[in-house]
């Protein structure tokens, strides 16, 4: 299969590298072509528009920031939808509203192609180890046809159900993720306040029963000098997902008290001027409230 990939940020570029390493022919497009230069040097082809990319691809993937960006790339005059051929597949790997994703799936179906929503869970580290988790929503037979391509991206693939259901599960996971990390940061600040060195507290947590994959790769960021070295999801981006999940929870009348409280701590972190930092920067907010510099 010829693969088209739109959205060459850190995670998108990492996925393209895995596809190229697996021998997949990949054509890419990004709003800023400069981001694609290393991938072009690695063997990726370039398309001048999403439409051109779709016209030469059997499977088109997108990984973009929000629903507005996805809709513009898919439905625009030079968008993916105008270039998709009959029997081709469109796989959106962005984290967006399930409702808007389903509307896109209907438009793609009306054009004679099939859409799957396939949001990911993991970090650059899990991607590089081939352990990226991908949840997929949409037609089961289409999923089976695209599955070999997804397995070249990551080894943990789960078909969740109909269109939009993978996004529901991704939002559920992200709601829990934020609660876990904020609780971790609160506990580390508490230990520091008592006089325990931050490095010692983090090391002990990573050896304890509350250690988890997300704590393992985010915990080092709060150590002195490490906050500028990696941003898995800045505060603004993480809160975007948090608000999507909470909005859906309200629609479903599903109580999410811990997730709602965690969202307030994301707001506090933004208010502290830490928007561009990974959201684990909430640790600095807890320190400040505890009277620590």
pLDDT tens profile 34-83: 989 999 999 999 999 999 999 999 999 999 999 999 999 999 999 999 99
What's the whole-model pTM score? 0.92
Q: What is the mean pLDDT of residues 264-279?
A: 95
Distance CA 56, CA 60 (A): 9
Sorted by where each starts, the structural domains of the chain and their CATH numbers stand as 3-162 (3.40.50.720), 168-289 (1.10.1040.10)
pLDDT digits (tens, 9 = 90+) for 165-210: 999 999 999 999 999 999 999 999 999 999 999 999 999 999 999 9
Of 151, 88, 87, 85, nearest in space to 118 by CA: 151
What b/e sequence results for 121-145 when a residue is b if at least 16 CB atoms lie within 10 Å of its CB, and e otherwise?
Answer: bbbeebbeeeebbbbbbbbeebbeb
DSSP H helices in 76-164: 98-110, 124-128, 140-151
Helix (H, G, I), strand (E, B) or coil at 196: coil
pLDDT of residue 229: 64
What is the spatial distance between Cα 186 and Cα 258, in angstroms, rounded to a whole number? 14
What are 159's strand-pairing partners?
136
Place of tokens 């269109």: 163
């Amino acid at each position: 299969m010829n693969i088209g990939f739109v959205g060459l940020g850190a995670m998108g570029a990492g996925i393209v590298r895995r596809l190229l390493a697996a021998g997949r022919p990949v054509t890419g497009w990004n709003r800023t072509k400069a981001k694609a230069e290393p991938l072009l040097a690695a063997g990726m082809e370039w398309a001048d528009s999403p439409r051109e990319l779709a016209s030469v691809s059997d499977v088109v993937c997108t990984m973009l920031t929000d629903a507005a960006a996805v809709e513009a790339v898919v439905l625009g005059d030079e968008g993916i939808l105008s270039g998709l051929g009959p029997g081709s597949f469109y796989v959106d790997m962005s984290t967006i509203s399930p409702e808007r994703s389903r509307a896109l799936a209907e438009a793609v179906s009306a054009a004679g192609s099939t859409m799957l929503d396939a949001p990911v869970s993991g970090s650059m580290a899990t991607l590089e180890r081939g352990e990226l988790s991908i949840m997929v929503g949409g037609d089961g037979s289409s999923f089976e046809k695209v599955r070999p391509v997804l397995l070249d991206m990551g080894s943990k693939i789960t078909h969740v159900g109909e269109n939009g259901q993978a996004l529901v599960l991704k939002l559920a996971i992200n709601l829990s993720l934020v609660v876990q990390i904020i609780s971790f940061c609160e506990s580390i600040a508490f230990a520091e306040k008592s006089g325990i060195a931050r490095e010692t507290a983090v090391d002990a947590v990573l050896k304890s029963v509350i250690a988890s994959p997300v704590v393992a790769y985010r915990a080092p960021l709060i150590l002195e000098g490490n906050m500028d070295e990696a941003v898995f999801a800045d505060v603004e981006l993480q809160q975007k997902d948090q608000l999507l999940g909470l909005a859906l929870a309200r629609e479903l009348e599903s109580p999410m008290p811990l997730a709602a409280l965690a969202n307030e701590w994301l707001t506090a972190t933004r208010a502290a001027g830490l928007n561009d930092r990974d959201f684990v920067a909430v640790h600095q907010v807890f320190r400040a409230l505890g009277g620590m510099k």
